[in-house]
């Protein structure tokens, strides 16, 4: 398992205050906004801030955000491509 | 059950970038004017908003012979001017009057330079104290902060207190100013259109910010009124703190409860002044709610493309405009909707139109999942 | 006037103590951070509600107090939520302001959402599934007389048949929470401004 994916999980838990979750509770391919993790629209905006703050990547198109934030895997792939 | 006294609308005032005084605002609305303009933040950054010209505000403040202009914040000045206008036209007994102030952020701009000490005026209740002191109002003012329904809730609170005979008159004020605080926040929420907003349109992208203040005088004793509040209610979606319920649960409940209090069926409503912020989800939610109550055919206006979203002021300003529609038997045009983009489609009022009106419905919805509905009756309807 | 309505339960959160109907039912050391005290309460309540962690401090305070208040009773679906405080959402406002004043900081959208005092009413509505009347008032001091008149109107117009009402305040100096459950039960004290005020005035210092 890659470090980036682990790092992302820790950052997501921290940034979104998901204190009831451990890194091991999130699988790379879990749907972040589905039943497994259950994020909402404000979380999506927080993830945009996270990408900019920690990876210097700006997402301005909300539609793009939806694809990027589908899972930890899609986020990691996007970061790898854009950094 | 004990009969409650009827609560009447006696007078109103709107002070907004669109116009100084209610009549000036109506004149602008009839001409399809908007106060929303492009404003610069920095060299490459701009936003669309309806803002006061500093110069105009100072001039008007001077004209009304208030002293020490520099002692008051912008919002205080707007509220003082509003109350001044209302009291000048209506010599009411202040001993029997309660002041109700609706605002979301008050003087929040004072926090910008707060450093370590919190300015007393950044507390929302301080606005009431300033006005109370200036006009010598004996009763303790009531202040409320309930997101985007604040101005409407202020009218409800006024009506409720008067119904209980706690006071004879209520001066309900609502307002907010635009600050870096709210501007940056709505940018973060990606909730602002980069052009003039387009309520209910297929291509709507979000809100514009606006600043304004308004006031309404309510009374149970003054006799010459033509408008009565016949029903009102608040209801929460119990769904999400920043997004509305998709099916408009709280709004349906608020409207139903207001209709029940007014002893009316939804078919009796002649006109709707809706919230229409031009965000994707708000407008879609409203269409769902109106559809569920079979109100989708009623002529409907959003004033957000005239004023921007004035938060604490919006529901109060839009209530006043509904009252003017009833009094003048005129439907005012909604701006910004060229192709309807909600389901079921709503009957957006596109032009100025004469029509006999008896009942107007005003609605608003806001963060925290709150929803507001109020029904005004035209007592001159024949 | 209020033949049918009683103050059926009250909760006070002060000095890191939880006081339910006049009895201390939970406490921690007074020198804990507020957040740590609230988390200890959350554990004491033995509930599982992930949204708790996302709330700002004002909402956490309101949430914890209302959980204790509603612990042993089922709220009726027409329970209104009517709260007052003197500071609005000032603590969260200051957090947000700090993040936009600092060029190098990244402001948080969720912090901004909590810069409205009535957000806590939304949180409580969601938790208790109450699609009811709610309002947040700002006043310098706890105003029991106003609450009584307001509730009287809500009950007599059938807009609510019960209420959670009270004081929920947080500022740099500390926090002060007093919530009462008003119902049509037989038990409890009569709903009057005097009784509400009397309940509020208890436990100003640590018991």
Q: What is the CATH number of the domain that holds B43?
A: 3.40.47.10
Looking at residues B83-94, what average pLDDT do you find? Answer: 95
Q: How confident is the model at residue B68 (pLDDT cuts 50, 70, 90)?
A: low
Residue C30, pLDDT above cutoff 70 = yes
The number of domains in chain C is 1
In a domain, C33, yes or no: yes
Of C87, C88, C122, nearest to B368 by CB-CB distance is C122
For B135-181, what is each residue's pLDDT tens digit?
Answer: 999 999 999 999 999 999 999 999 999 999 999 999 999 999 999 99
Which CATH number belongs to the domain containing residue C95 in this structure? 3.40.47.10
Locate the chain A residue with the closest alpha carbon to C54.
A17
Contact B242 A49 (CB under 8 A): no
Say yes or no to pLDDT of B259 above 90.
yes
Q: Is B236 within 8 Å of C86 when comparing Cβ atoms?
A: no
pLDDT for residue B101? 98
The domain in which residue B341 lies consists of 229-381
Instruction: Over range C42-62, report the average pLDDT.
Output: 97
Residue B72 lies in a domain: yes
Number of folded domains that form chain B: 2
Q: Are residues B98 and B189 in the same domain?
A: yes
Nearest to B242 among C87, C101, C113 (CB): C113
Residue at C28 is within a domain: yes
Tokens (6 digits) for B313: 């002021």
Based on C-alpha coordinates, what's the Rg of chain C? 17
What range does the domain containing C151 cover? 6-200
Span between the terminal Cα atoms of chain C, in Å: 34
Phi-psi region of B336 (alpha: psi -120 to 50; beta: other; left: phi over 0): left
Selected residue with higher pLDDT from C120 and B59:
C120
Which residue, B219, B250, B284, sits at the end of a domain?
Answer: B219
Kindly tell me if the per-residue pLDDT of B70 is higher than 80.
Answer: no
Report, as an integer, the average pLDDT of A41-62: 90
A46 CA: distance to closest CA in chain C (Å): 6
Same domain, B40 and B149: yes
Q: Is residue B133 part of a domain?
A: yes
On whether residue C183 sits in a domain, the answer given is: yes
Which two structure tokens, joined as six digits, stand for B253? Answer: 């409940």
Give me the pLDDT at residue A35, please. Answer: 83
Tokens at C127, concatenated: 């938790």
> Which of A41-55, B297-311, C90-104 is predicted most confidently?
B297-311
- pLDDT given at position A1: 53
- B53 pLDDT above the threshold of 50: yes
Last residue of a domain, one of B219, B249, B281: B219
C1: in domain: no
For testing contact with chain A, the best of C43, C50, C104 (most A CBs within 10 A): C50
Residue C6: pLDDT above 90? yes
pLDDT attached to residue C1? 45
pLDDT of residue C2: 43
Q: What value does the mean pLDDT take over residues B348-364?
A: 98
Residue ranges of alpha helices (H) inside chain C are: 34-45, 51-54, 57-69, 90-101, 109-113, 119-128, 144-156, 193-201
- Say if residue B205 is in the same domain as residue B233: no
- Residues B108-121 have pLDDT tens digits of 999 997 777 889 99
Domain co-membership, B130 together with B56: yes
B240 close contact with A: CB closer than 8 A: yes
Q: Which residues of C91-120 are buried (b: 16+ CB within 10 A; e: fewer)?
A: bbbbbbbebbeeeeeebbbbbbbbbbbbbb
Residue B298 lies in a domain: yes
**pLDDT tens per residue, range C121-130:** 999 999 999 9
- Of C50, C106, C110, which has the smallest distance from its Cβ to A52's Cβ? C106
Global pTM reads 0.96
Domain check: are B376 and B278 in the same one?
yes
B111-120, B216-225, C79-88: lowest mean pLDDT where?
B111-120
Interval A11-43: pLDDT, tens = 999 999 999 999 999 999 999 998 888 899 899
Which of these three, B199, B219, B239, is where a domain ends? B219
């Amino acid at each position: 398992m890659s470090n980036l994916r682990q790092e992302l999980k820790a950052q997501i838990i921290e940034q979104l205050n998901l204190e009831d979750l451990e890194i091991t509770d999130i699988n790379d391919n879990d749907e972040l906004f589905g039943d497994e993790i259950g994020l909402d629209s404000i979380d999506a905006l927080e993830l945009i801030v996270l990408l900019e703050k920690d990876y210097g990547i700006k997402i301005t198109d909300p539609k793009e955000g939806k694809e990027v934030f589908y899972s930890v895997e899609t986020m990691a792939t996007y970061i790898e491509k854009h950094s | 059950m004990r009969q409650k006294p009827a609560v009447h609308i006696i007078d109103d005032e709107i002070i907004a970038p669109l116009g100084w005084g209610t009549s000036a605002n109506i004149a602008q609305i009839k001409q399809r004017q908007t106060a929303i303009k492009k404003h610069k933040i920095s060299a490459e950054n701009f936003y669309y908003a309806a803002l006061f010209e500093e110069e105009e505000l100072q001039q008007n403040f001077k004209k009304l012979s208030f002293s020490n202009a520099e002692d008051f914040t912008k919002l205080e000045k707007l509220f003082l001017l509003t109350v001044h206008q209302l009291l000048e036209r209506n010599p009411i007994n202040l001993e029997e009057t309660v002041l109700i102030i609706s605002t979301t952020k008050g003087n929040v701009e004072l926090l910008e330079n707060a450093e370590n000490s919190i300015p007393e005026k950044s507390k929302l209740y301080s606005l009431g104290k300033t006005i109370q002191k200036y006009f010598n109002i004996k009763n303790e003012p009531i202040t409320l902060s309930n997101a985007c329904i604040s101005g409407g809730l202020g009218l409800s609170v006024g009506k409720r207190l008067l119904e209980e005979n706690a006071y004879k008159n209520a001066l309900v004020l609502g307002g907010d100013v635009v600050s870096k605080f709210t501007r940056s926040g709505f940018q973060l929420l990606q909730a602002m259109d980069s052009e003039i907003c387009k309520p209910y349109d297929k291509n709507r992208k979000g809100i514009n910010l606006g600043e304004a203040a308004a006031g309404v005088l309510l009374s149970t004793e003054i006799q010459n009124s033509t408008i009565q509040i016949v029903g009102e209610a608040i209801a929460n979606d119990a769904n999400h703190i920043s997004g509305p319920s998709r099916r408009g649960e709280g709004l349906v409940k608020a409207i139903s409860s207001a209709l029940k209090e007014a002893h009316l069926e939804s078919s009796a409503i002649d006109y709707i002044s809706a919230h229409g912020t031009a965000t994707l989800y708000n407008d879609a939610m409203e269409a769902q709610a109106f559809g569920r109550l079979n109100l989708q055919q009623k002529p409907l206006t959003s004033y957000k493309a005239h004023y921007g979203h004035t938060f604490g002021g919006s529901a109060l300003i839009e209530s006043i405009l509904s009252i003017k529609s009833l009094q003048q038997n005129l439907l005012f045009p909604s701006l910004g909707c060229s192709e309807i983009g909600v389901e079921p489609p709503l009957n957006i009022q596109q032009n100025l139109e004469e029509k006999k009106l008896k009942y107007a419905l005003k609605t608003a919805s806001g963060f925290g999942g709150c929803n507001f509905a109020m029904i005004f009756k035209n007592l001159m309807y024949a | 006037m209020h033949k049918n309505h009683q103050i059926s339960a009250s909760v006070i959160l002060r000095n890191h103590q939880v006081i339910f109907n006049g009895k201390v039912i939970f406490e921690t050391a007074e020198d804990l951070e507020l957040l740590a005290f609230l988390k200890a309460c959350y554990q004491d309540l033995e509930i599982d509600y992930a949204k708790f962690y996302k709330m700002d401090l004002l909402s956490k305070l309101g949430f914890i107090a209302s959980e204790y208040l509603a612990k042993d009773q089922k709220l009726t679906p027409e329970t209104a939520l009517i709260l007052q405080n003197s500071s609005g959402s000032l603590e969260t406002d200051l957090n947000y302001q700090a993040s936009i004043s600092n060029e190098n900081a990244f402001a948080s959208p969720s912090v901004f959402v909590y810069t409205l005092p009535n957000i806590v009413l939304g949180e409580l509505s969601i938790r208790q599934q109450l699609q009811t009347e709610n309002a947040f008032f700002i006043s310098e001091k706890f105003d029991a007389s106003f609450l009584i008149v307001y509730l009287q109107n809500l009950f007599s117009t059938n807009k609510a048949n019960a209420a959670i009402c009270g004081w929920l305040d947080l500022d740099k100096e500390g926090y002060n929470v007093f919530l009462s459950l008003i119902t049509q039960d037989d038990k409890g004290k009569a709903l009057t401004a005097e009784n509400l005020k009397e309940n509020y005035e208890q436990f100003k210092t640590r018991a």
